[in-house]
A and B are shown apart, each in its own frame.
Chain A
Amino acid sequence: MARIVGGITTSHIPAIGNAISRELFEDPYWKPFFDGYPRAREWLDEVKPDVAIVVYNDHGLNFFLDKMPTFAIGAAPQYTNDDEGWGLQPLPPYQGDPELSWHIINSLVADEFDICSCQEMLVDHGFTVPMSLMWPDRSKMAVKSIPVAVNTVQHPLPTPARCFKLGQAIGRAVASFPKDLKVVVLGTGGLSHQLDGQRAGFINKEFDLMCMEKIVSDPEALTRYSIHDLVRLAGAQGAELILWLIMRGTMTGTVSKVHSNYHIPISNTGAGLLVLENAV
């Protein structure tokens, strides 16, 4: 049977993608951030997952306000990125796993999560930046991927509690897939940041560090916040914490922390990295 071997959280800021393409790994601004990642890659090399489920939010590349699904799941044989408005170069396509995608889709709808399925889906920096951080050498990358896009663009956003439950339902879906696959779940985005309004630049280190701790040991505590609470405490875009909660919900075994790193600021954001192992 398939099983979820662990989860990873990471920021997905576009500026990280630019810094990777300019190879700013030793730059004094970027070094404290990039230095967190080798340990995460070592863990992935040890575990060798077959599939990565990547929970992210589309930032206006694939979805417009004409049709805005709350939860959308990729079911494509491959996923490509595209220019997001500032002349990004296309990356090699990411291989999908349609069989597992459809199994998850079927299982979720049976489990009363009426998600949107996508046989074509452009993935933006929310997906590609974490993939580039985890698997920088595309020539050696064997992992397949399944994007899970969550609406954080237009309120109402799904509640933290609902997102945690979606994660649990994804966890049940993976556990019932009959092939022996190792699955890792990436919860992307966050932590605190706000891009818009007079409150732009809001960062809440204390709240971020509390989230880094609770997401490991007591995720239910974080599900008691409302979206409005998250906007107030973590900034307008800090509501991306719901993506971490989906990741955490998928892990129902004994969860332990392998590695963590937290750094302020990357762009306008408190950047949190966690590697969590899910023991049976």
Chain B
Amino acid sequence: MEPAKTLEPIPGTIIFDGAMAVKGYALNKMCYTFNGAAGRQEFLADEDAYCAKFGLTPEQTKAIKERNVLALLDNGGNIYYLAKFIGMLGLNVQDIGAQQTGMSVEEFKAKLVAAGH
């Protein structure tokens, strides 16, 4: 059977497929180490050195430094591994939802509540 044909894009959504998994491998590998306290400490002690250790591209390193979730996703970041990075910073999924949609956190939370009405 042939692989699926090109699918109609879903606005505001990146499908994390093989191409994205290749593009983001180093970035996601770094984020995977944030499961452990040792990885988190080493990153926080010297962010540039830690990004270099994993061979992140300049775009990925910039997105990490700026905590820019949309740029991290564009550069192959996978939300489940990025969640380790986000969690380490003390942010939750409403915080990054607000960042990605250009809303305040309160506005974003209100949007979620409104979905129930």
Contacts and interface: CB of A to CB of B under 8 A. Distances in A.
Interface of A: 15, 59-61, 64-65, 82-87, 153-156, 194-201, 203-205, 226, 228, 231-232, 236-237, 263-265, 267-268, 270
A196 B100 contact: yes
Nearest to B85: A85
A270 to B, nearest CB: 7
B45 interface: no
A267 B13 contact: no
Interface string B30-41: 011011110010
5 contacts: A65-B21, A195-B79, A200-B97, A264-B115, A268-B94
Interface of B: 3-4, 7-8, 10-18, 21, 25, 28-29, 31-32, 34-37, 40, 69-70, 73, 78-85, 87-88, 92-94, 96-97, 100-101, 108, 111-113, 115-116
A122 to B, nearest CB: 9
Nearest to B73: A196
A203 B88 contact: no
B106 to A, nearest CB: 13
Contacts, number: 133
A196 B79 contact: yes
Given A64-B32, A198-B11, A198-B100, A236 B83 contact: no
Contact of A203 (B3, B18, B69, B115): B115
Contact of A270 (B15, B32, B87, B115): B115
Contacts of A237: 79
A85 B84 contact: yes
Contacts of B4: 156, 226, 228
Given A65-B28, A263-B116, A155 B16 contact: yes
B29 A153 contact: no
Contacts of B92: 15, 267
Contacts of B113: 264-265
A256 B79 CA distance: 36
B13 A231 contact: yes
B12 A197 contact: yes
Contact of B93 (A228, A231, A267): A267
Contacts of A268: 93-94, 97, 112
A194 B21 contact: no
Given A155-B15, A156-B17, A82 B35 contact: yes
A236 B116 contact: no
| Most chain B beta carbons < 10 A, residue from A154, A228, A267 | A154
Given A65-B78, A155-B16, A201 B112 contact: yes
Contacts of B100: 196-198, 200
Contact of B94 (A153, A156, A267, A270): A267
A197 B15 CA distance: 10
B40 A236 contact: no
A199 B111 CA distance: 12
Nearest to B24: A65
Given A86-B87, A264-B112, A154 B32 contact: no
B35 A85 contact: yes
B92 to A, nearest CB: 7
List the 3 closest A-B pairs by CB distance, nearest first: A264-B116, A199-B12, A85-B84
A65 B17 CA distance: 11
A231 B115 contact: no
Nearest to A153: B80
Nearest to A82: B35
A85 B88 contact: yes
B112 A85 contact: no
A232 B80 contact: no
Nearest to A86: B87
